[in-house]
Amino acid sequence: MSALTLLRVALQVVSRNKMRAALTVLGIVIGVGAVIAMVGLGKGASSRIQNQIASLGSNLLIIMPGAIQSGGVRSAAGSASTLTMSDIEAILREVPTVAEVAPTNRTPAQVVSGDANWSTLVVGSTPAFFTVREWEVARGAVHTDTDELSAAKVCVIGKTVQANLFGGLDPIGQTVRIKKVPFRVIGALASKGQSAMGSDQDDTIVVPFATFAQRLGGGQRNLVMSAFASARSADDANKAVAEVSTLLRQRHRIGEGDEDDFSIRNFQDVAKASEEVMRVLSLLLGSIASVSLLVGGIGIMNIMLVSVTERTREIGIRMAVGARPWDILMQFLVEAIVLSGIGGVLGVGMGYVASRVLANVMEWPTVFDVESATLAFAVSAAIGVIFGLYPARRASKLDPVEALRFE
């Protein structure tokens, strides 16, 4: 029996029992659809995290003073004041793979403008902060090196602060009081959204580093709470980490074998870690969805077994006119594959629609890609083979005499 004839016969049989075929196929449709939607959801989450990490600034390194250790008790990273302005200058001077470094200090503070007030995070940093973080202003401008030298009382405000202090009004040129010190608003930052850790990056005010030290930081001009650095390229990021580390160890006179008194976080590593988390999540969602695919497969096996019993006489007739066991096996197997294949095609369609609907309803980006659609379809066809094989074998092993006698 040629492949074409097999397919034609199978389609004929399937179309005879439309209702039954539809219900059988439905199991596979739901299974494949669920897998595609779940994988899409996982991949969507993964791409969202990647975007968020990219929003921190690409090639970003964060350098923080290390934990001090006293009597075996370790404090949190950043608790020691071991990073200084001269370290920052040295990095910029001596590490060629680092393009820019922005030292930052920060403090939570109550900011007041007119009769509005808002509690936010005030960051003191150099103009490099905006380039390293790849953060642009929506209106106005960021502070300049001149502002830095003169410790000007100017600030650039984040979107959330702007909304809470000024509502819809133009903030440029307005005055805000931070810890009772008046600052002139010279720029409004574009929105950056949530950070990878879930905090609102727009809830912030940036002032010149020098001004922060003089007016808000208690006069510790030389100490740095953290520094953002940018590597010259993504490929340089790991090299930059190593070089900065070597330099800081030298400068801090840390002996061989002793622990660093600083830490450097490379956001590519963070990105990789989150991607790994999302990959596991996708896998988990996918495997849960696969269970429904399995149930769909069992549905096919069930209906094929019924079909074999019902058509015992037909099998007998076919055998009497010369069908070999192999022909009978193939006939039922192809029928099962046709059922699961149709289910696969419809399931891919349903998965596509479901990912779209999920994306809208849950406001969660979903990714529908050809790769997982193809895979899901191949799996559904394989399910036809796996779950069709047993009923088909049973059909092919029927005794022709018995089968012909079957009423």
Partner 1 sequence: MAERNTNVPVIEAVDLRKVYDLGPTRVEALRGVSFQIARGAFVAIVGASGSGKSTLMNLIGLLDRPSAGALRIDGVDVSRLDAEDRAYVRNLKVGFVFQGFNLLGRSTAIENVELPLIYAGVGGFERRRRARESLARVGLGDRQHHMPNQLSGGQQQRVAIARALVNRPSLLLADEPTGNLDSQTSQEILELFQALNVDEGISVVMVTHEHDVASVAARVLTFRDGQLLHDGPPPADWEPAIPRRARQEAA
The site for partner 1 (CB under 8 A) is made up of 1-2, 5, 16, 313-314, 316-327, 399-401, 404
Half-sphere exposure of 201 (CA within 13 A, CB side): 18
- Cβ at position 6, least distance to partner 1 in Å: 10
- Cβ at position 311, least distance to partner 1 in Å: 10
Which one, 113 or 307, has the nearer CB to partner 1? 307
Which one, 104 or 396, has the nearer CB to partner 1? 396
- Cβ at position 405, least distance to partner 1 in Å: 10
Which one, 280 or 320, has the nearer CB to partner 1? 320
Which one, 184 or 313, has the nearer CB to partner 1? 313
In sequence order, which residues have a C-beta less than 8 Å from that of residue 19 and are 6 or more positions away?
none
Which one, 321 or 370, has the nearer CB to partner 1? 321
Which one, 134 or 327, has the nearer CB to partner 1? 327
Which one, 235 or 399, has the nearer CB to partner 1? 399
> Could you give the 3-state DSSP secondary structure of residue 400?
helix
Q: Minimal CA–CA distance to 47: which of 274, 255, 227? A: 274
- Cβ at position 404, least distance to partner 1 in Å: 7
Give how far Cα 42 sits from Cα of 38, 56, 100, Å: 6, 22, 35
The DSSP call for residue 367 is -
Which one, 275 or 314, has the nearer CB to partner 1? 314
- Cβ at position 14, least distance to partner 1 in Å: 12
- Cβ at position 338, least distance to partner 1 in Å: 17
DSSP labels, 62-109? EEEEPPPEETTEE--TT-S---BHHHHHHHHHH-TTEEEEEEEEEEEE
The answer to whether the beta carbons of residues 346 and 29 sit under 8 Å apart is yes
Instruction: Round to whole Å and give the CA distance between 120 and 133.
Output: 19
- Cβ at position 36, least distance to partner 1 in Å: 35
Extract the tokens encoding 358: 């999920």
Read off φ and ψ for residue 183, nearest 5 degrees: -125, 145
Instruction: Round to whole Å and give the CA distance between 314 and 307.
Output: 11
Q: Which amino acid is at 177?
A: R
In sequence order, which residues have a C-beta less than 8 Å from that of residue 220 and are 6 or more positions away?
81, 105, 213
Instruction: Round to whole Å and give the CA distance between 97 and 117.
Output: 42
- Cβ at position 23, least distance to partner 1 in Å: 20
Instruction: Round to whole Å and give the CA distance between 188 and 169.
Output: 12
Which one, 1 or 22, has the nearer CB to partner 1? 1
- Cβ at position 25, least distance to partner 1 in Å: 20
